Amino acid sequence: MPISKEQFQSGLTIQEFIDRMEDNKEKFVENMEAFSLSFDDRQFFNANPVSIAAFGEDWCTDVIQFLPVIAKIAEEVPSVSLRVYERDDNMELMQPYLKEGKYASIPVFVLYDADWNELGHFIERPDAVTKLMAEETRRFAQANAHLEGVNRSYDNMPEETRQAVRTNSSNFRWSSMKTWNAIFLDELKAMVSGKSAAVSVAD
């Protein structure tokens, strides 16, 4: 079942979500402060009122990156409304938005127009970003073939290798944040306008 207006209003405000955070609060706020909307972005969302239901948890890195973008838009554009649901307490509402119909991946963003028509929903991260992450994983493994088990799945790596992979992944993400946020914003705007986002990913 779609989220009703009444259910939407029962969600957390972004400040309530921040106040409840136990993990990554400082990074979340830092990311929110670092993201800036252009004049054209503001004009777009002013002209296209939208309500956004967001599902997330504070331990999820993709939530810590992409929810601040939505939060900043809602903060700066009066025609954009945001409510946040902690995933683990709202699995019933999450059911229509499972990745591949079975994975409770987050974040999830569900967009509604002014007449409460669902414009679409967004799960986890842009496909272009997933591609970039996979390419970096392969590059790191090739450049660090000396690390034991570096080509194994993450859960099957020795702890030292897993830590090296985790550190590299984190550094790659946050150094790429501005570019990835731009890709994400383009996809949001395309969803709102009913157009396909033209996303280019460098080879």
Q: Which residue range is the domain that position 150 belongs to?
A: 128-170
Q: What are the tokens at 192?
A: 């709102």
Task: Judge whether residue 149 has pLDDT over 70.
Answer: yes
pLDDT 10s digits, 62-83: 999 999 999 999 999 999 999 9
* 162 in the same domain as 65: no
* 112 in the same domain as 29: yes
CATH code of residue 113:
3.40.30.10
* 116 in the same domain as 132: no
In a domain, 147, yes or no: yes
In a domain, 154, yes or no: yes
* pLDDT value at residue 155: 87
* pLDDT value at residue 90: 93
Task: Report, as an integer, the average pLDDT of 76-99.
Answer: 95
* pLDDT value at residue 196: 54
Task: Judge whether residue 174 has pLDDT over 80.
Answer: yes
194: confidence class by pLDDT, cuts 50, 70, 90: confident
> CA separation (Å) from 97 to 53, 110, 129?
11, 9, 20
Task: Judge whether residue 57 has pLDDT over 80.
Answer: yes
Q: What are the tokens at 75?
A: 């903060």
Look up the pTM and report it. Answer: 0.90
* 68, 84 contact by CB (below 8 A): no
User: At residue 50, what are phi and psi to the nearest 5 degrees?
Assistant: -150, 145
